[in-house]
Structure 1
Amino acid sequence: MSSTGATIDFRSVRKTYGKFVALESFSMHVKRGEFMTLLGASGSGKTTALNALAGFTEIDSGEILIDGVPITRLPTEKRDIGMVFQSYSLFPHRNVIRNISFPLEMRGVPRAEARRRSEKALQMVRLDALANRMPHELSGGQKQRVAFARAVVFEPRVLLMDEPLGALDLKLRETLQLEIKDYQRQIGCTVIYVTHDQGEALTLSDRLAVMDKGQVLQIGPPEELYDKPQSRFVAEFVGANNILKVEGAEPGSVMLEGLGRVSGHVAHLIAASFASIRPELIQIRREASGAHRATLAEAVFFGNSVRYVLRAADGKEISAIEPRRPGQDVLPLGTPISFDLDVADLVALKG
């Protein structure tokens, strides 16, 4: 397949439903061929932005452009956009190959050419042996692969995906995440992907945008949002995190909830309201040699690691992840332990 991606621009887009503001001054640039994920809770505006781009939702103000061309008033069928939904939306009376060929038929592609292109799309998703199956004869994963092939068979410049894996079990979701990324590389189209699943967003995205109340709070590569969240909301939403209130600061040291007074290179924390640190950066000591004392309040065994919840002297609970070696015991609840951390790993957050 030979699709090439397009740039996408949202410029100060606003959309309301009565008194509810779904999008407010929503602006975002998506690069050509980029896999961009919109991540946020229900009601954050993710799907509204997707539907506005697709032409399913009329915006109140602002502008949407594809390759620099305004498409805000362009009919949906003329926007050259493919879309994959969570519900698959396959035609129950059409077999697999005819489901895939439907967009080509609607565009007047000759039957023989439509068949050839549909077979090629089916080969890409490795379902060519199921061309004559009916949708009710397919598994959930197979249905989603057919939906993907149908969305890209006409070689759109832009592909929109609205929580396409949400109805699948965990193991199948993980498999299809890797396949979707591989398909996108083969096709070269620009993808905007909507999800509330943090792991999915971190796995798939070239960049991701965290949304809340119709606006983008932070946008960047997954590792940037994970390592350097700019606000408490992003720190809490992207992966597990410990949020510690900054209770006092002076040159060379800060007072942190759960840690007490911390000294060293703390200049970046002086003006912060909160600091965050990832659980995997907390170093548990199985003896009282660490800088901070705590009591073990919870332990969750994951096989290759154990997630501990440590209750500090002031009552603050701090999560820590300890890699596990074969034969290593899980610590019993109530065990007095200690822990260390590197002050440089503390990230300053806005409120």
Structure 2
Amino acid sequence: MTNTVHRGSSIEFRKVRKTYGSFVALEEFSMTVAPGEFMTLLGPSGSGKTTALNCLAGFIDIGEGDILIDGVSIARVPTEKRGIGMVFQNYSLFPHRTVMGNVAFPLEMRGMGKAEIRTRSLKALEMVRLDGLADRMPHELSGGQKQRVAFARAVVFEPRVLLMDEPLGALDLKLRETLQLEIKQYQRQIGCTVIYVTHDQGEALTLSDRLAVMEKGFIRQLGTPQDLYDRPSSRFVAEFIGSNNIFKVLGSQGASVSMEGIGPIEITGRALPSAGYVALRPEHMRRTPQGRVVTRLEQAVFFGNSIRYVLTGADGKEISLIEPRTQGTQMPEPGSEVRFDFDDESLIYLPE
């Protein structure tokens, strides 16, 4: 790796449509990624996120539309000439090559001299703190070490675009959290543009400059993690990003709004429609004896620094409330009454 931080390339998807028989994997998929941006494609299995990544990489042909890198169409450019680095979930390391040999492979394919290959490979391994393991074989490495080798191999030739397809999916939670921070640090150091695919919303919120929530081949919402968390545009996004209570609006009259699970309640400072849904984050609710909403406690779940209360509201609707735990917090007994309240500004209106 050189010491000069360079910026990545811009990427543009223009109305890409990809089908497999009658199944539509991508439909009117349009998205622009700025140079050096960390963009995440987030969605459930089958939403089209990996298909979009594979179209960009050149692993599959797009059916309709176009993809541009730095304003130039790559639809007819072979995969090996797109200058894109790729990190896979299963590492895809060569079992017969050492750590150094794996990292050096992309440089060998580009015909570089042995001295330059060694220098660049060692710098890439130093970046991921594995230079002391250069002579190890892949079977001698831990899962986290293998993923670092895969990352070093993907960036050793200094690609302007790096694609990552659920690279941390096979690792345990604590290691995933550690590598999330490292990946972001490496990306800032290199300055390349990253498109990252995951179904893990926590991962997406941690890593992304922006993220696109996908469903059935469509982008349902695109924005910063804060935008999508605080202002989801649909019920699907509200339920997919973080934990949310979704209440159906049953009707309104003046300042009084009736909501499923809550019943009639006075809302001040804002107007809610008489139909549709509202979302309320569990952490935006608070237990208080004077609370406007009366529920019954079903279960209190201890998470160390927080407590999650599973409540039953009007009509038997399940409601989740999360509060920070402080020393001496007394948890009520299951079956007891729990009243809660919230700031009316915390309610997020979701169209039908």
Shared fold per TM-score greater than 0.5: yes
Seen in structure 2, the aligned counterparts of structure 1 residues 268 and 113 have a Cα distance that, compared at 3 Å, is: farther
Please state how far the C-alpha of 1:292 moved relative to its aligned partner: 1.2
Which residue of 1 is the match for residue 101 of structure 2? 98
2 CA distance for matches of 1:101 and 1:268? 61
Aligned residue for 1:155? 158
Equivalenced residues, count? 349
Encode CA deviations 1:144-179: one digit per residue, 9 max, x unaligned. Answer: 000000000000000000000000000000000000
Are the counterparts in 2 of residues 14 and 24 from structure 1 also a CA contact under 8 Å? yes
Partner amino acid, structure 1, of 2:83: D
Task: Report 1:136-285 matches (<5 A).
Answer: 136-265=139-268, 267-270=270-273, 272-285=275-288
TM-score after normalising by structure 2: 0.97
Contact 1:163/1:193 (<8 A) preserved: yes
For residue 3 of structure 1, report the CA deviation from its aligned partner: 4.2
CA distance in 1, matches of 2:227, 2:185: 22
Once the two structures are superposed, the pairs formed by residues 295-334 of structure 1 within 5 Å of their partners are 295-334=296-335
2: CA distance, partners of 1:246 / 1:266 = 17
Is the Cα–Cα contact under 8 Å of residues 3 and 156 in structure 1 kept in the other structure?
no
Distance 1:222 1:11 in 2: 23
CA distance in 1: counterparts of 2:179 and 2:195, whole angstroms:
16
Whether the aligned pair in 2 keeps the contact of 1:301 and 1:330 (CA below 8 Å) is: no
Looking at structure 2, the residues matched to 175 and 307 of structure 1 have their Cα atoms a distance apart, in angstroms, of 25
Match of 1:110 among 108, 113, 116: 113
2:205 aligns to what SS in structure 1?
A: helix
Q: Equivalent residue for 1:45?
A: 48
> Contact 1:272–1:348 (CA<8 Å) still a contact in 2?
no
Q: What is the CA distance between 1:202 and its match in structure 2?
A: 0.5
Return the alpha-carbon distance in structure 1 between the equivalents of residues 122 and 334 of structure 2. Answer: 58
* Contact preservation (8 Å) 1:181, 1:204: yes
Deviation, 1:257, is 1.2
Retained in 2: the 8 A contact 1:45–1:214? yes
- The CA deviation at 1:332 is 1.8
Deviation at 1:271, TM superposition (A): 5.8
CA contact (8 A) 1:253 1:266 kept: no
Aligned pair in 2 of structure 1 residues 281, 275: CA closer, same or farther (>3 Å)? same
Q: TM-score, normalised by structure 1?
A: 0.97
What are the ranges of 5 or more consecutive residues in structure 1 without an aligned counterpart? Answer: none
**Structure 2 CA distance, aligned partners of 1:140 and 1:87?**
10
CA distance in 2, matches of 1:338, 1:329: 15
State the Cα distance separating 1:267 from its structure 2 match.
4.7
Equivalent-residue separation in structure 1 for 2:223 and 2:331 (angstroms) = 37
Q: Secondary structure at the match of 1:269?
A: coil
* SS at 2:179 equivalent: helix
The DSSP-based 3-state class of the residue aligned with 1:99 is helix
Superposed CA deviations along residues 84-125 of structure 1, whole A, max 9, x for unmatched, are 000000001110011001000001111110110000000000
2:257 touches 2:267 (CA, 8 Å); kept in 1? no
What residue in structure 1 maps to residue 338 of structure 2?
337
Indicate conservation of the 8 Å contact 1:290/1:340, yes or no.
yes
Gap regions ≥5 residues in structure 2? none
Aligned residue type for 2:94: F
Equivalent residue runs for 1:53-68 within 5 Å:
53-68=56-71
Q: Distance in 1 between matches of 2:339 and 2:266?
A: 18
Aligned residue type for 2:85: G
Q: Is the 8 A contact 2:265 2:292 kept in 1?
A: no
Does structure 1 retain, via aligned residues, the 8 Å contact 2:255–2:271? no
SS state of the match for residue 13, structure 2? Answer: strand
Q: Distance in 2 between matches of 1:200 and 1:148?
A: 17
SS in 1 for 2:316: coil
Report sequence identity in percent. Answer: 67
Deviation of 1:208 (Å): 0.5
Q: Would you say 1:347 and 2:343 are equivalent positions?
A: no
Q: CA deviation at 1:326?
A: 1.8
Cα distance in structure 2, aligned partners of 1:232 and 1:59: 30
Of 17, 22, 28, the residue aligned with 1:19 is: 22
The one-letter code matched in structure 2 to 1:246 is V
User: Structure 2 counterpart of 1:342, which letter?
Assistant: D
In the alignment, the residues of structure 1 paired with residue 271 and residue 65 of structure 2 have an alpha-carbon distance, to the nearest angstrom, of 37
Give the counterpart letter for 1:349 in structure 2: L
Displacement, 1:341? Answer: 1.1
Q: CA RMSD in A?
A: 1.2
How far apart, CA to CA, are the structure 1 residues paired with 2:54 and 2:113? 30
CA contact (8 A) 2:90 2:167 kept: yes
